[in-house]
Chains A and B, each alone.
Chain A
Amino acid sequence: MRPFELHQANSLAEVLALLDQYGGDDVHLMAGGTSLILLMNLGLVEPARVISLRRVAELQGISALPDGGLEIHALATHRQGELSAAVHAYCPALATTFGHVATVRIRNQGTIGGNIAHADPAQDPPPMLIALDAQVVLRSTSGERVVPLDEFFVDYLTTTLQPGEVLTSIRLPALAPGTRATYQKFLPRTHDDYATVSVAATLRLDGDGRCADVRVALGGAAGVPVHARAVEDALRGEVPTDERIAAAAALVLDVVDPPNDARGSATYKRRMARVWTERALLSLRDQSNGGHG
């Protein structure tokens, strides 16, 4: 690993001041370090300076918001997300999603904020968080921006995060009562692998059995996590029959653009994106209304 200058910031104000002082491409923020150290080990990233966020108390923890929403601070680890009582109370499928990330060793170190800022489109949490209508909070010395998560990702490992900005937390709105959620990870190889494709979805039916709210997002299906609005538009206001779900799921073929890689050809992954979208929606429709499971 190439030598570098490390700054161990003790507060968010200190982080922002350091970013202003050393701004540019040669300074990197480090949260848990799993992705950054890996890339530095491989010589793919060679920053002159690294600012460690690990000691910044404001970036720790997961808390329920007074309005029924949830705030996940950037340095909360995946393991904390998996076990957090606040996450389980908010949406058990979100806790399950955090538990799908790699192995317990990586979940103990890797952070949820770091995962999002790293913008790997095959990661598990982003599609589930998009399906839950998450926003990310970005802070700089000039203030705060709040960006919907589905607008945060630009391309593979690329986000709208500007030089001088820090992702400080992920905010989730209160879920309407009766909202169902699922995360379906298609894993033909080992359990700790990236998904070949993954599908996160939420569904709320009204009193007549029509789709009042429906959200669908996919991982591993393009250069960014894909928010499949066309699928949602096709179902909203409709009774989700088998035929309507199949027709809506087929619309993901227009919005996915997966890479060829060791987990399958682009053609195969496109087909699996349709299949798993259909399965996710059927499983939500058929879930007995057990809260936010």
Chain B
Amino acid sequence: MTLSSQHSLRFELNGAARDMTVPAHHRLIDLLRDELGLTGTKEGCSVGVCGACSVLVDGQLLSACLLPAIFVDGTRVTTIEGLAPDDGHLTALQDAFIRHGGFQCGICTPGQIIAATALLDANPRPTADEVRAWMMGNLCRCTGYYKIVESVLAAAEAGPAAVIRQAIGVR
């Protein structure tokens, strides 16, 4: 059994510089979840279809399950853990997903919010059809998608500013 070659990797992850060594066969999802403990990014289908592993690399939406880890050398990677500026705030999208019921079981939610972040970055005021077209690669088996589209449109209307994190009562 051959061993993988090892490669040095320097990149920025959620605002912090990282300097690591990775074997050639590790994907970005392996690096995030197994090496770094950032388990917000989920592995669903492992073939680039479901969107649960969505991440931003230099602002571009990508599937961490199909991306060799070494491909992020020299880039800026953002995961769900890195969206909010601090523990006291949420992004407008995170807030809207909570307020508008944009999730139920939650497994697809980090990918949904990452994908929607890339959408609003490229197109701050999308139509409902544009939201559906962009988000079609992020599968959800709970919501029926209506609440996800509603959440994204609400976040677009609220604008890009982070909002103060508030406890939302559960009855």
Q: A residues near B, CB below 8 A?
A: 1-6, 8, 30, 33-34, 37-38, 40-42, 48, 50, 52, 54, 79, 102-106, 108-109, 190-192
Contacts and interface: CB of A to CB of B under 8 A. Distances in A.
B63 A33 contact: no
B66 A37 contact: yes
Given A34-B48, A104-B137, A105-B51, A4 B62 contact: no
A102 B23 contact: no
B157 to A, nearest CB: 22
A40 B27 CA distance: 11
Q: Which 8 A-B pairs have the closest CB atoms?
A: A103-B137, A6-B24, A3-B4, A1-B25, A5-B5, A108-B60, A37-B66, A3-B25
A103 B5 contact: no
B65 interface: yes
22 contacts: A1-B25, A3-B25, A5-B2, A6-B4, A6-B24, A8-B7, A33-B66, A33-B67, A37-B67, A40-B25, A41-B27, A48-B2, A50-B24, A102-B48, A104-B118, A105-B51, A105-B63, A106-B63, A106-B137, A108-B62, A191-B133, A192-B49
Contact of B24 (A3, A42, A103, A106): A3
A30 B71 CA distance: 11
Nearest to B65: A41
* Main DSSP-derived SS at the A contact region: mixed
Contact of A190 (B62, B115, B136): B136
A103 B136 CA distance: 7
B70 A109 contact: no
A3 B23 contact: yes
Candidate in A42, A54, A79, A109 with the most chain B CB atoms within 10 angstroms: A109
B57 to A, nearest CB: 8
Nearest to B26: A1
B17 interface: no
B26 to A, nearest CB: 8
A253 B129 CA distance: 36
A109 B61 CA distance: 9
Interface in B24-49: 24-25, 27, 46-49
B146 interface: no
B4 A109 contact: no
B4 A8 contact: no
B126 interface: no
Given A4-B2, A5-B5, A50-B24, A109 B136 contact: no
| Interface-centre pick from B27, B70, B71 (highest chain A CB count, 10 A) | B71
Contact of A105 (B3, B5, B25, B137): B137
B51 A103 contact: yes
